[in-house]
Structure formats: C-alpha cells, structure tokens
A and B are shown apart, each in its own frame.
Chain A
Amino acid sequence: MSKTTNQKAWIFVIPVIVLVAFNALIPLMTVVNYSVQETFGSNVFFWEGVKWFEQVLNSSRFHESFLRQIFFTGTILAIEIPLGIAVALSMPKKGPWVSVCLVLMALPLLIPWNVVGAMWNIFALPDIGLLGRMINGMGIDYNFTQQPVAAWMTTIAMDVWHWTSLVVLLAYAGLCSIPDAYYQAAKIDGASAWAVFRHIQLPKMKRVLTIAILLRFMDSFMIYTEPFVLTGGGPGNTTTFLSIDLVKIALGQFDLGPAAAMSLIYFFIVLLVCWVFYTLMMRDEAE
C-alpha cells in the first residue's frame, strides 16, 4: 500500500515512545553505567573502561553458557518448526473440531512460566511423576535431577510442549489464507502432495513462518524461568543457559560490573540476529 508522507504522524507515536523509552532507556543507561565501573559498595564507583567486557568475553564460563544456549535454541527450532508445520497441515480446515483443536493447543501458551517448570518437574520426577515412571518402566534409567542427558531431554521436551503450538497457530493461519482455487488448480495439474506443499503451501506460509522463527528464537534465547524451576540450571551447570547464568552473577554474587557487561553483550547478540531476520522480512514485504 502506498503511504503518504505526513510528519504529524509523530504525534500518534509519542505515547508509545514515552512509555517504552521510560522502561527501556533508563534501565539500559543504568546497565551501561555499571558495565564500565567498579564498586566496593556504599555507592562509590570507579571508572574501569572495558575491563568487564574483556573479562566476560574471555571467560570460559560465558563461552560455555553461550554454547549451551546456541545448542538449546538450535535444537528446539529444529524440532518445533517442522512439527508445528506438520500438525498445522493435518488439522481440519473447517467444522466444530477446529475450535476444539485451537483452544486445546493454545492452552500451554497461557500457563505462567514457573508453573510450566513446576508442572514438568512433578511430571518427570522418577518416583512420583508419570513421565519418569513410564521411562523407568521401559527399563531405561532416567533421573533428570542427576543425569545431564536426561536433564537436557526433559528441558527440550518441556519447551516443545510449551511452544510448538505457537508455530502451529501461525502456520495454520497461513494455510487458511490459501484460496481453494489454488488447490483445485493443483488437482487439475495432477500435482503430488509434496508438490502442493512445496509450491503452494510453503510459499504462502513463508511470512508467518518467519515470524514464528523470529519469536521462537527470541524467546528461547531469553529463556529463564522454566529451566530454572525445572532443573535450577543443573545438574552441576549442565542446563545453565545465558539468562540463568546472568541472574546468578547479578543477583547471586552481586558482581554488578561483569553482570552488566554480560547483559550488554547478550542483548547485542539477540539484536544482531533479529536485525538480520527483520531485514529479510521487510525485504520480503516490499516485494
């Protein structure tokens, strides 16, 4: 759609800017402030320059939680996106079951994150949890509170449980926007199910899928509450993702300088990836 140039449109945007800036800029400046100073308490600060940034970037602790984070985000994207598309493709297009499916599927999205963690905790406990009992019943030794592999599997299963529905909903919306005429044309041409998916459904879902990937990337990269409640970052440090590590440093050890420097590096990484996605998406939209 062609837009008219109108500088007065700024007036409409001002309330949003004021509210968001209050919440974003002041805390961000506080973080920047901490990141370049050292304090020994009682509000006395010393200029430190980029010392904290160097320290964080060179620490093996940061490297490890960063790698864990990448691995986690990569894994859940690799599972949730195809699974979400597959479920959306096989969902009924009309009829009373559509609402039932949508309501039931959206349910996990509306559960507070700590409840998700607590729920999976009692679901997966080897002694009283249904999942833990089932896996152990199959003769596999499973205890997510002690085995790193089991802790990882449980965390990933929890995230798949929690968020795949978002992909389903978005993909389903994309599928619903395809006019019947497209399918009829494909039928006349004798196109295979794969050809229909590849040349009709996938291109139509491209935009919603970009949004789905963007949202899933951002949220999984910032994940804190669910794994914290489920595993507490353990056993050991094996499921300590970036946010968990950050809160440990900032509030646990009260190392404000390194924590602030880490925050900024962390934020910058998320920003960079999202900028790439956003540019791709906008280029798409312009076409």
Chain B
Amino acid sequence: MNLKKWLLPTVYILFLMLPIYWLLNMSFKTTNEILGGFSLYPENFTLENYIVIFTDPTWYNGYLNSLLYVAMNTVISVSVALPAAYAFSRYRFLGDKHLFFWLLTNRMAPPAVFALPFFQLYSAVELFDTHLAVALAHCLFNIPLAVWILEGFMSSVPKELDETAFLDGYSFPRFFIRIFIPTIAAGIGVAMFFAFMYSWVELLLAKTLTSVAAKPIAATMTRTASTAGYQLGLLAAAGTLTIVPGAFVIYFVRNYIAKGFAMGRV
C-alpha cells in the first residue's frame, strides 16, 4: 500500500526531471559532441558554454534585463493590488462585481492579440525598449491575478480584526501596514511568486517591446540561435541558467506554497 502510494509521485517527478536532465547534459557538451553522436552523459565535460555566457555582455545583460523588469513588475503588481484586493474583500461598492470580472478578463486576453498594438502604444509614449515598458505591459495579466489571489487570502481573515483595530484607535494606514499586511504575509508571498512566475516566463510581449537596451534573455537565445548557426551547447547552457532563478524563488517560498495555497481560496 505504502509503496503503491510512492510510485505515482516518483514516476511523475522522474518524468519532469528527464527533459531537464537532457538540457543539463547538453549544456556540458561542445556543439561538436552534441552533433557528433548520442551519449547519455557528457564524455568531454566542458564549462565552455557557461564561460561564454558569463563573459559576453550580450548574454549576461539578457539575464540582468529580465531580472530587472520582472522585479519591477512584481513590486508594481503586488503594491497596487493590495489596496484593491482589500476593497474587494471588505466592501460592497457600485459596480464591484463587474469591475472584478473586467479585471479577470485581462488575464484572459491572448498576448498574441495585443502584441502589435502594444508596440505602437509603448512607442508612442516613448517607453519602447525600456525595462519599465515590459514591467508595465506584464501588469496587464499580473495585476488581475494578484488581486484575485490577495482577495482570496484577505477574505479568510475575519473582519473582526479590522474592527478591533479601529476601536483601539488605529488609523487606517497604520492598521493596514502594521497589522493587516503581516497577517496576510503568506498571501503576499504567493501573489509575488505568481507575479514573478508569469513575468519571468512570458516572452511574446517582452520580445515585442524591446530591441537592444532591455532585451530579455529568452529573446537573446532565439536571436543567437538563428544568426550564429545552431549552437546547441550554448543554447542549452543559456536555457539551464533560466531555470536557476525559478528554482531559487520556489525554494524561497516553498513553505508558503504548501501553507499559502491552503490559506487562499480553498
């Protein structure tokens, strides 16, 4: 019985790890070895691909650009979503339900629909090829998601908490920052995690809104792949490195995922 229970998660995780292992395997090979033959592990182990990435500014700037706009987006999304989620969870106001659904519809808009108009809009306001442009564009789907998640967490906090604090003479801003935010810290962690996640993985808009100065790592990869021939080893190394920030963030919020998800809309 116990063994049977372990079997499925183990097989599932193995299935998840295989493609990642293959990417890792290729990143330690030279392109010649990759194209030359098939081997389950690198025979001539090399760090050359990683050295190229860490010494060539066009490569490592891609990472810095991505991390910068993702961080900006996470901060903007969660900080504007906090008061809005509070309003949705505590008050009834004119048009609240319609507004909430309208916000969610933006999470549903296919980025492909908006790629061209976004390019024109951000060129017109002279933000094209800046980190801020990508950070703001990703707000389109990250703010609605953050509001949705935070609203769920806030609704599970009893309203008595607010009322007691106001009776004790707390002003609203003081209550919100000193008491309410620490209470829903797990929810904020989960919201930030999702904002990070969707901003980090999105490419279509990020690529459309940048050319040189703010180019994301994912776009650097596609261009290098097409102009300099298919340098598979280099591509695999760059791909492997894009997994690292994600792994780090998951590790950081791992307790929040388990506890956090359960506290949200469950």
Residues of A bordering B, CB below 8 Å: 1-10, 12-13, 15-17, 19-20, 22-24, 26-28, 30-31, 83, 86-87, 90-92, 98-99, 101-115, 118-120, 122-123, 127-131, 133, 161, 164-165, 168-170, 172-174, 176-177, 204, 207-208, 211, 218, 221-222, 224-225, 229, 242-243, 246-247, 250-251, 256, 259, 263, 266-267, 270-271, 274-275, 278, 282
Contacts and interface: CB of A to CB of B under 8 A. Distances in A.
B258 A99 contact: yes
Contact of B202 (A90, A91, A113, A218): A113
A27 B121 contact: yes
Contacts of B155: 1
A15 B93 contact: no
A104 B262 contact: no
A16 B147 contact: yes
A102 B256 CA distance: 11
B177 interface: no
B162 to A, nearest CB: 10
Contacts of B258: 98-99, 102, 172-173, 176
Contacts of B201: 109-113
Nearest to B264: A173
A272 to B, nearest CB: 10
A87 B251 CA distance: 20
25 contacts: A1-B89, A12-B84, A15-B80, A15-B84, A16-B80, A16-B143, A26-B117, A31-B117, A83-B12, A90-B8, A101-B13, A103-B247, A105-B12, A106-B257, A110-B200, A111-B243, A112-B203, A113-B218, A119-B22, A172-B261, A177-B266, A211-B265, A263-B113, A271-B105, A274-B108
Contact of A222 (B110, B117, B159, B251): B110
B143 A20 contact: yes
B204 interface: yes
B266 A173 contact: yes
A16 B84 CA distance: 7
Contact of A87 (B12, B217, B222): B12
B222 A114 contact: yes
Interface of B: 4-9, 12-13, 15-20, 22-23, 26, 34-35, 38, 40, 76, 80-81, 83-84, 86-94, 96-97, 99, 101, 103-118, 120-121, 136-137, 139-140, 143-144, 147, 155, 158-159, 197, 200-204, 217-218, 221-222, 225, 232, 235-236, 239, 242-243, 245-247, 249-251, 254-255, 257-258, 261-262, 264-266
A280 B257 CA distance: 26
Given A20-B139, A87-B9, A118 B239 contact: yes
Q: What does DSSP make chain A's interface, helix, strand, loop or mixed?
A: helix
Contacts of B222: 114, 229
B110 A221 contact: yes
B265 A207 contact: yes
A250 B116 contact: yes
B120 A30 contact: yes
Counting from the closest, the 10 A-B pairs by CB-CB distance are A110-B246, A173-B261, A27-B117, A12-B87, A9-B91, A12-B83, A30-B117, A9-B87, A222-B110, A243-B112
B159 A1 contact: yes
Contacts of B86: 12
A287 B17 CA distance: 42
A169 B261 contact: yes
A115 B242 contact: yes
Contacts of A176: 258, 261-262, 266
B25 to A, nearest CB: 8
A202 to B, nearest CB: 14
Nearest to A250: B116
Nearest to B7: A90
Nearest to B208: A251
